[in-house]
Amino acid sequence: MEPSHSSSDAGAEVTRNSPRRRNGANEPDPIGDDTTPAPERTDQSAPDPSGEYRLRDGVGLVDDILVSKRPLTATRLNDAAVHVVDALGRESAFRAPEAIAQETGTRPSSIRTLCERLHQRGFLEWRPARDPTHTPPVSVVVTVRNDREHLRACLNALAELAYPTYEVVVVDDGSTDGTPDAAVNHRLADERRIRVVSVGTADEPLGIGASRNRGVEVTAYGVVAFTDADCRPRPSWLADLVPHLAAHDLVGGRIRPAGDGPASVYEGHNSSLDMGPRASRVDPGGETPYLATANLVGRRAVFEAVPFPERNVAEDVAVCWGALEAGFDVVYTPDGVVEHVYRTGVRSFARRRTAYGASEALLARERGREGMDSVEISAIGLTVVVLASAGMAATVAAPLPDWLTAAVVGVGIALAGVGAIAGGAARWRQFRRLSPAITPGDVVESWARGRLSSAYALARELTRYYTGPLVTLGGVGVFAGATGVINGAEVGGAILLCAVAVAMTLPLGVEYRVSNPETSVLAYSTYYLADHLGYQRGVYRGAVEHRTLSHLRPTARFRLSGIGVKALRRLRAARSP
C-alpha cells in the first residue's frame, strides 16, 4: 500500500504564541513574544529517550525571529528560546535536549517541549535516540518462495554484515525451484549461522504474513530483523539500526534501488517503500505512515504481541499500526540501508502497483474508516454534472443580454479585487512585523511555490485515483454529442478529457524537472503511467472486493496544503544516496 502523506507549505506562516492550555491549566509557552516567562532554571537533567534535534537546512535566526525559507515560515521567540536555538545552531550535529539543558542551565522538560514544537513546525530535524553500545544478538528472518537466485545474492550480502552476533532464519514457503538447497549450501551454513524452516507446500503455500510469524517463533534471539530475498542489506545494516532499540521498540531503515535500469531510476524517486532521507516517528497520517518489512528491526516481544496478519499484502502496515495502538514506539531512520531489486518489466511493475492499490480498501475496511457520506457523494455528483454540461450550455443556451453580461463580469472583478486587497493587506501586515527577516521576494516566491504545489497536488491525486471515471465520463459525453443523443455533449466531454490530459501531464513534467532522473523522458513516463494507472486499477478493484469507498473520499485525497509539497520534497531528497 502507498498511504497518503501530509505536510505544509502554503505560504508564509507568522505566529506569536500565547500560553497554551493543557488539561485545564495554563502553562507558559516556551516560544512566544517577549512577555512569555522563561523556562524554569534547574541544575538537574534527565536523559531524553525521544531523540535528538538540529536546525534544518535553510533555517536561520534573525534577531529573535526564527525563519525557514522552504516552506516560508517564521515565529518570534522569547529570550530563553533564542538561547536554545542559538545553542542548536552553533553545531551542525544532532544534539539531545538534556545536553542543551546542561549547557544553558534550563530544565530538560522545557527544552524537549520547545524542540518538539519547533520540529513539528519544520524548523528542526529530529532523529531517534540510540546507544552505540547496545548490540544484542539478532535473528534475521528472510521469507522466500521460488526465488533461488535472489536469495543467494541476499545471503551473500548478509554474510558480509559488520555485526557481532547474528543468525539467519530462511523461511521457505513451498518452493519447487531448489531455493532451500541454495540456503543449506551457502557458506553461512558452514559457519552455523543459518537455519532453514520449511512451511506450506507447492500447492498450498502458507503466505507471507504467516511465514513471518513462523520465523519469529523459531528465532533464537530477542531482537528480530526482517528483509526480503530480493534485498541486499549493506554491511552496516544491523549496526546502524539495532542501537536505536535501546530507546525504541521498532525501527526501520531506508530502502534504495539496487540497480540502475529505468525501473530502478524511477523507484529511486517514487518508491512507496523509501521513506526519505529524514528520520521521523511513524504516524499513519504523517510523513512516515508505516515501515516496510524489507527493512524492519524490532524486539521479538513486539512481534509476538502484534503478529503479522496472515495475508500477502499490507501485512507490514498492519503490524506497524497495531504496534502503535498497543503503545509501542515505532520510528524511522535513513540509516541502515537495504538495497531492493525492483521488477524491470512494465507489466510486472504495474501488477505490483495494483496489489498496493487494492490494499488501501483492505486497510480502510480493517481500520473501520467510514465511507463517503451523502453530502460528499452529492458534491461529487454535482461536480460531474457541471463539468459534463459545460459544453452543452455553451452550444445550446441563448446568449445573455449585454447588460447582464457586463453586470456579471463587473461583480466578478469586484469580488476578486476585494479578496485580493484583503489578502494582500494581511500579508503586508505580516511582512512589516517580520522585516527584514523576510523580504518581499521571499513572500512572492513562497506564494508562487504554494500555488504550484497545490496545482501539482490536485493533478497528481486526480491521476492516481480518478482519471478512469473521468475519462469514461468524458468519452460518454463525446459519444452522446456525436451521435445526437444529447446536443452539445461532445463539447463538455472534450473539455473534460482535455482537463484530464493536463492533470496527467502536469505532475509528470514537474517530477521529471525536479528529480532530474538519469533516464529518458519516455522511460520515466512509461513507469510513471504504469505506477499511477496500475495503482488506480487496484484502488477500484479493492473497492469492489472489500465493499468500501472510504479510501476514495475526496476529503482524504485532496489535502492540498501538504500532499504536493511533501511529494516534491521527496523527489528532491531522492537525489541523496
**Distant-in-sequence, close-in-space partners of 377: CB < 8 Å, separation ≥ 6:** none
C-alpha cell at position 14? 507568522
Joined grid coordinates for residue 518: 538519469
How many structural domains does the chain have?
3
Which cell is 3 given? 498511504
Nearest to 4 by CA among 516, 455, 535, 526: 535
What's the order of all strands across the beta sheet hosting 166-173? 194-199, 166-173, 138-144, 223-228, 296-299, 250-252, 330-332, 280-281
Looking up residue 298, the CATH number of its domain turns out to be 3.90.550.10
| Same-domain check for residues 339 and 484 | no
Pair (400, 253) in one structural domain: no
536-555 pLDDT, tens per residue? Answer: 999 999 989 888 888 887 76
Among candidate residues 458, 463, 457, 475, the one with its CA nearest the CA of residue 537 = 463
Under-70 pLDDT residues of the chain: 1-49, 368-433, 435, 488, 555-577
- What share of the chain in percent tops pLDDT 90? 34
DSSP 16-72: ---PEEETTEEE--SSSSTTSPPPPB-S-----TT-EEEEPTTEEEETTEEEEETTE
Same domain, 94 and 155: no
Domain assignment present for 360: no
**Cβ atoms of 85 and 66 closer than 8 Å:** yes
Q: Do 464 and 316 sit in the same domain of this protein?
A: no
**End-to-end CA separation in angstroms for the chain:** 24
- pLDDT tens-place string over residues 37-55: 333 333 333 334 578 999 9
Query: How much is the pLDDT for 26?
Result: 32
Same-domain pairing of 395 and 450: yes
Predicted local distance difference test score (pLDDT) of residue 313: 83
Say if residue 105 is in the same domain as residue 146.
no
Q: Do residues 99 and 146 both lie within one domain?
A: no
- How many CA atoms, within 13 angstroms, populate the side-chain half-sphere of residue 473? 20
Residue 331, judged by CB atoms within 10 A of its CB (0-12, 13-18, 19+), counts as: buried
- What is the domain-level CATH number for residue 66? 3.90.930.60
Question: Looking up cell 532521507, which residue turns up?
Answer: 277
> With b meaning 16 or more CB within 10 Å and e meaning fewer, what string describes 306-327?
bbbbeeebbbbbbbbbbbbeee
Q: Tell me if 196 is assigned to some domain.
A: yes
Does 176 lie in the same domain as 305?
A: yes
Long-range CB pairs of 59-68 (<8 Å, 24+ gap) are: 59/123, 59/124, 60/89, 61/85, 61/86, 61/89, 62/436, 62/437, 63/437, 64/34, 65/434, 65/437, 66/118, 66/123, 67/434, 67/437, 67/438, 68/122, 68/123
Rounded to whole angstroms, the Cα distance separating 61 from 83 reads: 11
Closest C-alpha to 55, from 122, 1, 125: 125
568 CB-near residues (< 8 Å, 6+ apart): 453, 456, 510, 514
DSSP string for 127-173: E----TT----EEEEEEESS-HHHHHHHHHHHHT---SSEEEEEEEE
* CB of 219 closer than 8 Å to CB of 133: no
Structural domain includes residue 154: yes
> 50 is in which domain, residue-wise?
13-127
Whether residues 109 and 147 fall in one domain: no
Domain presence at residue 353:
no
Domain membership of residue 157 (yes or no) is: yes
For residue 161, what pLDDT is reported?
96
Radius of gyration for the chain, computed over Cα atoms and rounded to the nearest angstrom:
27
361 within 8 A of 465, measured Cβ to Cβ: no
Determine the pLDDT at residue 29.
37
All 3 cell numbers of residue 335?
540509516
- The set of residues, in sequence order, having a beta carbon less than 8 Å from that of 505 and lying 6+ positions away, is none
Q: Are residues 152 and 254 in the same domain?
A: yes
What is the DSSP secondary structure assignment for residue 466, as one 8-state letter?
I
194 DSSP 8-state letter: E
Of 96, 127, 158, the last residue of a domain is 127
Please provide the average confidence, as pLDDT, over all residues in the chain: 79
With contact defined as beta carbons under 8 Å apart, do 291 and 11 qualify? no
Q: What is the pLDDT of residues 94-111, one digit of tens each?
A: 888 888 888 888 888 888
| Separation between Cα atoms, residue 479 and residue 152, nearest integer Å | 55
Query: pTM (2 decimals)?
Result: 0.78
Q: Is 310 left (phi over 0), alpha (psi -120 to 50) or beta?
A: beta
pLDDT of residue 415: 62
Whether 531 maps to a domain, the answer reads yes
Domain boundary among 77, 96, 127: 127
Cell digits for 472? Answer: 469514461
89 and 145 together in one domain: no
Rounded CA-CA distance 481/178 in Å is 60
78, 98, 127 - which closes a domain: 127
Rounded Cα distance, 394 and 244, in Å: 63
Residue 365 lies inside a defined structural domain of this protein = no
Query: Which string of b and e fits 345-381 if b means at least 16 CB within 10 Å?
Result: ebeebbbbbbbbbbbbbbbbbbeeeebbeeeeeeebe
Query: 425 exposed, middle or buried (CB, 10 Å; 0-12, 13-18, 19+)?
Result: exposed
As a dihedral over the C-alpha atoms of residue 233, residue 237, residue 238, residue 239, rounded to 10 degrees, the angle is 150
**Residue 312 placed within a domain:** yes
Three-state SS for 93?
A: coil
Give the whole-angstrom CA distance, residue 36 versus residue 553: 42
SS (H, E, C) 367-378: CCCCCCCHHHHH
CB 22 within 8 A of CB 384: no
Same structural domain, 145 and 95? no
8-state DSSP, 340: E
